[in-house]
Structure formats: C-alpha cells, structure tokens
Amino acid sequence: MNNTPTPHIGAKYGEIAKTMIMAGDPLRARLMAELFLENPVQVNNVRGMLAFTGTYKGKPVTVMGHGMGIPSIGIYTYELYNFYDVDTIIRVGSCGARQTYVHLGDIVIAQGSCHDSNYGQQFDLPGHYAPIADFELCRKAVETCERLGYKYHVGNVFSADVFYSEDPRKANWTKMGVLADEMEAPALYMNAARAGKKALCICTVSDHILTGEATTAEERQNTFTKMMEVAFSLV
C-alpha cells in the first residue's frame, strides 16, 4: 500500500530504505547518520522526528527516531511497514537492568518482550500474544557481539507503558528472569508480525533497577555506539 507521505512521516515513497535502524531520540538517529552512513540525506523532520537515508557498505539504510513509548513507536513502525514497504526495523535504545549479572554498558538483545500494554487488544486474539524478535536477526546480533567481544545477554525484557510507576508488583518481573526494562519492543514486534516483516530490539544498559547505578552522559555516548555497530552489522 502506498499512502505517502503520511501524517507523521514527510518522506516520499522510495526515500526510505527497506532496512531501518531506529532510536527513541531523533538526535541519536542523527548521530548514527553521521557515524555510519555514506552520503546521508535527511528525508523527514515532521514533529522533529529526524530520518536520514544513505548507504552502509553500499547497502541502502535509513536511520530514524521513533519517540518514547509503545504508542509512539507503534505509529511510526506501522506506517513504515505498511506504507513505505520497509522490510526490517532494528531498534537501538537504553534499558534498565533487572538482574544482578547484567551490568551497566552491557548489551541486551530482546528475544521476547513481556509487557503491561493493551496494544495487542486491537488484534482480537483469543489469548495473550507473545511478542518475539526475528530469529535470524537475533542470531546474527549474537554472532556480532561474540566476534567483537561485547558483553551481551539474550532473553526477555519488560516493556512498560509507565516510566514513573508506583506499582510494587513490577519487582516480580525480576523473579521471572526478565533481563531489563524498556518501553517500545512489544509494539515493534507485534507490528512486524502482523505485517509479515522483521524486527529486533537491541538495548544498552544505562541504569540498574536493583542497585540504583546509572551511567554518565559521557559513558552513554561511548558505550551506546557498540549496540549501533551490532545493529549495522545486520544490514
């Protein structure tokens, strides 16, 4: 279906590549364009959600922001999969660790995403859908981490609708082996499944829910580029 530009993306059909790497912060998208893309061209600035299309090792790639939370990434990835015919979306973002063996700066590859969102209600399923990543993307991300010597963890994340939560039951996700908290993966994975496309969420641990540790701005700048390297290796 070609219905572009959309209400949220100003790019014309064909200006966005089949493979996308997205981040919550549009300025991080700009950073990725500067660090990784050859001849990047800005293709979107609607609502300040920057997007740039260029090439990485000769292959077309678009980098773009998706905002914060399930509703925001849900809108953007739906339009990208269904209106711009994007095949693959890889999210790179931050997360808060839930396990003692997961440390600041580690990479978390979200094989699946538990959540407290009603996003899946729209599909009218007779049960609870389990949002999961594309296996090939997940496997290649692991291979890249091992090749580069990056410390990584693969498994479930928990994705919340609320950042500042007063619900004490969230601690139970730690008991279920959930690696970390983030806020976008379920909508990305469900939209990909519904459209028959591919998706993966890769996060860097920026803070620790159990210990209260947190990275500095400088540390985030230096360590977050590792997950970007992993994401671009999947192109």
- Which residues form the catalytic set? 207
Could you tell me whether strands 51-56 and 38-44 are parallel, antiparallel, or unpaired per DSSP bridges? Answer: antiparallel
Q: Please, is 117 exposed, middle or buried when counting C-beta atoms within 10 Å of its C-beta (0-12, 13-18, 19+)?
A: buried
CA angle 188, 98, 181 (to 5 degrees): 25
Phi, psi of 211, deg, nearest 5: -100, -20
Q: Which helix (H) or strand (E) holds 220?
A: helix 217-232
Q: Which are the contacts of 121, defined by CB distance < 8 A and separation ≥ 6?
A: none
Tokens for 94?
């931050």
Distance (Å, whole) CA 61 – CA 19: 5
How many residues appear in the chain?
Answer: 235
Spatial neighbors of 231 by CB under 8 A, at least 6 apart, are 21, 90, 92, 141, 202
